[in-house]
Chains A and B, each alone.
Chain A
Amino acid sequence: MELIIFYLAAVVAVGGGLMMIMQRNPVASVLYLIVTLVAIAVMFVQLNAVFVGALLIIVYAGAILVLFLFVIMLLNLRGEKFAEKRTRLDRPTRIILAVAFILELLAMFKQVAFPGRMDELMVQASPDFGGARPVAELLYTKYLFPFELTSILLLVAIVGAVVMARRDEKDKKRGI
């Protein structure tokens, strides 16, 4: 049963990812990305990472991708057509490179993981593994400093984003 759910989630995730990069319309891309993220969240839950999985749905799908949608709407992008000017060899070369990369990764896994050595490490998860409470405990004790740093990072990012995206007098004149 778990395996079936995993396969389902994996197919949905990979399929969503592929669909995302092949879309012309960014809105559709965003929606496919959400599908992929949901599938990944399912896998998180399977791996006992309940809290992080929930965060993934709430923060990622709920906030960040909505931000993307906002921007797309704001810029009024709808399946823009880009003038084709790249040389003919460009795209195949890149696809070949990407395929080579994934083959290398798989070969690496085969060398390292497939002999089954990793399975032996598999232990029964503790009952509350990945729950909100143990994660929070770690977060506020061992990783308190990085956590606080993150807040500063977010603050800086907000300031930066506001400064950059603000419309100044010149832009107002041009009507954008």
Chain B
Amino acid sequence: MVPMPYYLIVGAVLFVIGIAGVILSRNLIIMFMSIELMLNAANLTIITFSRFLNLMDGHVFVFLIMAVAAAEAAVGLAIIIMLFRNRETIDADKFNLLKW
């Protein structure tokens, strides 16, 4: 029997790796994948609590999160394609339009 905090630690570490991916990488696609990683780290934590609370509602949440992630991936990748079409790059530092 694996103690519950171990899972939580793995989840936390994966989450922080996701954060690091977002703030350190300049490649929009890798940033995007890091977000997916963060979502799954959160999923892992939810599943862990669900198991230890002996409630399956958490599984449903995870299921829903996956659906949202799928939607987000579809839209996000469409945005990336559009950005690439307009600017011929996916370098996040080349897009500074957020100040307007």
Contacts and interface: CB of A to CB of B under 8 A. Distances in A.
Interface residues of B, number: 71
Contact of A165 (B27, B56, B60, B78): B78
B24 interface: yes
Contacts of A154: 67, 70-71
Interface of B: 1-10, 12-21, 23-27, 29-30, 32-34, 36-37, 40, 43-44, 47-48, 50-54, 56-57, 59-60, 62-64, 66-75, 77-82, 84-85, 89-91, 93
Given A14-B13, A21-B21, A125-B51, A139 B78 contact: no
A71 B71 contact: no
Contact of B71 (A72, A147, A153, A162): A153
A2 B6 contact: no
Nearest to A99: B16
Given A52-B59, A60-B36, 4 more contacts: A40-B40, A71-B81, A130-B51, A163-B78
Interface of A: 2-3, 6, 10, 13-14, 17-18, 20-21, 23-24, 26, 29-30, 33, 36-37, 40, 43-44, 46-49, 51-52, 55-56, 59-60, 63-65, 67-68, 71-72, 74-75, 77, 80, 82-83, 85-86, 91, 94-95, 97-98, 101-102, 105-106, 109, 113-114, 118-119, 121-123, 125-126, 129-130, 134-135, 138-139, 142-143, 146-147, 150, 153-154, 156-158, 160-165, 167, 171, 176
